[in-house]
């Protein structure tokens, strides 16, 4: 994802989502990077249902809510990672 190969990351991570919260979080991050907020949110929420402690997933959820204009929810997610 960091190298800009988002489509490759989506293809690889898509096959791992049934087993791992981190894979779901990374998949959400890839969708977020592509600007697909709804898909990103879906995967990040699924990730957090499996593991509520994932800091990156919480930060990305805050970013999604900021982009959607819901600053209250964004603030709650950011407070949860401090």
Higher pLDDT residue, 75 or 1?
75
pLDDT mean across residues, the chain: 88
Higher pLDDT residue, 31 or 16?
31
Evaluate if residue 14 carries a pLDDT over 80: no
What predicted TM-score, i.e. pTM, was given to this entire model? Answer: 0.78
74, 63 in Cβ contact below 8 A?
yes
State the Cα–Cα distance between residues 17 and 25, nearest whole angstrom: 9
Q: Check residue 56 and give its pLDDT.
A: 96
How far is C-alpha 31 from the chain's CA centre?
Answer: 8
Q: Which tokens in the block code for residue 60?
A: 């990305």
State the Cα–Cα distance between residues 17 and 72, nearest whole angstrom: 29
| Residue range 17-44: mean pLDDT, rounded | 90
Res. 4 pLDDT band, cuts 50 70 90: low
């Amino acid at each position: 994802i960091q190298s800009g190969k988002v489509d490759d990351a989506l293809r690889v991570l898509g096959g791992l989502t049934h087993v791992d919260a981190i894979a779901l979080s990374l998949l959400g991050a890839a969708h977020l990077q592509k600007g697909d907020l709804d898909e990103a949110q879906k995967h990040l929420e699924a990730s957090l249902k499996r593991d509520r402690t994932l800091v990156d997933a919480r930060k990305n959820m805050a970013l999604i809510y900021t982009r959607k204009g819901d600053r209250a929810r964004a603030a709650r997610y950011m407070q949860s990672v401090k």
